[in-house]
Amino acid sequence: MTSPSAAPARLSTGERAAAFVVKWGFVAVTVALILFFLITEPSFRTVDNIFGMLKFIAPTAIAGLGVMLAMTVGGIDLSVGASAGFAVSIAAWTMVIANQVGGVAVTVVLVCGLLIGALNAFLIVVARIPDLLATLTTMFVIVGLKLIIVDGKSISSQMTLNDGSTAPGKFTADFLWLDRGSIGPVPVPVIIFLVITVLLWFLLERTRWGRALFAVGTNSEAARLSGIRVQWYRTAAYMGCGLLASVAGLLLAARIGQGDVSAGNSLLLDAVAVALVGVSVLGIGRPNAWGTALGAVLIAVMVTGFTMLGLPYYAQDFGKGVVLLIALLFSFTFSRRRTVVTAGSTTSAS
């Protein structure tokens, strides 16, 4: 006995217009920006530029996808920037100081990422520290640990060590391929970015594990009573986030070609911003992979466009801030749907 009488109340014209803006606003802004730059800036039009833009934003996007994953279980991870920076230094240390090949460096970095995620999960799930505070703390700890390991210095090939000798290793070609390589016309970082986006989309939207992650973030008590291992899924989400942050770090390391100690510092805010923009894209109202990717593309277009227009670098932050503000207004203020972003309030769930 299906009856349509429970259909949502009819909306006024104004409400429908607002709903339309909330749903399509970001896509429209992104398209409009692209069109604007296409018309005004001839150099914007090249294929190279498009891939360049995507390549430039790939680490941010991947770290943002990590934050998005933490957000699915109702949490957040503020340590992604630090984890990426840690990955940069650890990759450099493994290759330059420990004289290992790129494959080893990648493995070591990914394991470190999982361990950082496990540490976050331990603090949040077992020690029950609120997610914002726990990951803020790990951020400090990881940055400090990194500086201790590398003696506070950026590690580069052929650097002079403390004992006067020259470092035995260097950034290997296979490692640098992560940034400089391409398959067909598509740069490797862009491929990694797209593959991760597709995988996460598939995981979250098509599999039962994704459904369970969202259930934990939406109503952890109902999820628990439905037989979902809430703590297990929260742990998995934070470990996944740590892993993705370290992938972002690998791409940064390959781009810079040395273990810059300041790398990753600016990544956190951008990553959180793209994840939050992702929540509001298409009025979805919950963390999602394609929205996050689109948020990253929007920021890439904006930054590239601003640069081409000759605006100073500090104008970029202003632009990002405005975009994020609009995203939050869309998600929390104008949306009819309940937005499921509950960072900081999830640790009491059992």
Partner 1 sequence: MTSASPAPVEGHDASVVSLVGVSVAYGSNVVLTDVALEFRAGEITALLGANGAGKSTLIKALSGANSRYTGEISIDGQPVHLASPVQARQLGISAVHQKVADGIVPGLSVAENLTLDDLAQASRHPFRNRKQATADARAALATLGLDWSDAALEQDAANLAISDAQLLVLARALRGRPRLLILDEPTSALTAAEAERLFSVLRGLRASGLSIVYVSHRFGEIEALADRVVVLRDGIVQSNSVRPFEWTEILHDMLGRATTLDHDRGTTHHGTDAVARLEGVQLFPESAPIDLEIKRGEVLGILGLIGAGKSEIAELLGGLAAPLAGSLSLGGAPYAPKRPTDAIRAGVVLVPEDRQRQGVLPGWSVAHNVTLPFLAESSVFGLLRKRFERSRADSVIDTLSVVTSGPDALIDDLSGGNQQKVVVGRWLSADPKLALLDEPFRGVDIAARREIGARLSTLATDGAAAVVLSSDVDEIFEVADRIVVLVGGEIELDRYADEVDRSTVIGAFLGRASQPGASASELPESAPERTSNDQP
- Is residue 88 a contact point for partner 1 (CB under 8 A)? no
* 34 vs 216, beta carbon nearer partner 1: 216
b/e map 284-323, b = 16+ CB within 10 Å:
bbbbbbbbbbbbbbbbbbbbbbbeeeeeeeeebeebbeeb
Question: Sign of the C-alpha dihedral, residues 58, 59, 61, 65?
Answer: positive
Closest CA to 129 of 82, 78, 80, 63: 78
Q: Which of 54, 167, 340, 343 binds partner 1 (CB under 8 A)?
A: 340
Number of residues this chain uses to bind partner 1 (CB under 8 A): 37
Contact set for partner 1, span 280-339 (CB under 8 A):
285-286, 337-338
- Is residue 71 a contact point for partner 1 (CB under 8 A)? no
Contact set for partner 1, span 120-139 (CB under 8 A):
125-126, 128
* 7 vs 47, beta carbon nearer partner 1: 7
CA distance from start to end of the chain: 37
- For the chain, the C-alpha Rg in angstroms (whole number) is 21
Q: Cβ-count burial of 41 within 10 angstroms (0-12 exposed, 13-18 middle, 19+ buried)?
A: middle
Closest distance between partner 1 and the C-beta of residue 289, in Å?
16
* 177 vs 202, beta carbon nearer partner 1: 202
Closest distance between partner 1 and the C-beta of residue 205, in Å?
9
- Is residue 2 a contact point for partner 1 (CB under 8 A)? yes
CA 172 remoteness from chain centre? 26
- Is residue 22 a contact point for partner 1 (CB under 8 A)? no
Q: Which of 148, 208, 310, 312 binds partner 1 (CB under 8 A)?
A: 208
Site string for partner 1, 148-187 (x = CB under 8 A): ----------------------------------------
* 255 vs 286, beta carbon nearer partner 1: 286
Q: CA 168 to CA 161: how far, in whole Å?
A: 10
Q: CA 270 to CA 107: how far, in whole Å?
A: 26
Q: CA 118 to CA 130: how far, in whole Å?
A: 15
* 4 vs 164, beta carbon nearer partner 1: 4
User: Which residues contact partner 1 by CB under 8 A?
Assistant: 1-8, 125-126, 128, 206-209, 211-212, 215, 218-219, 221-231, 285-286, 337-338, 340, 350
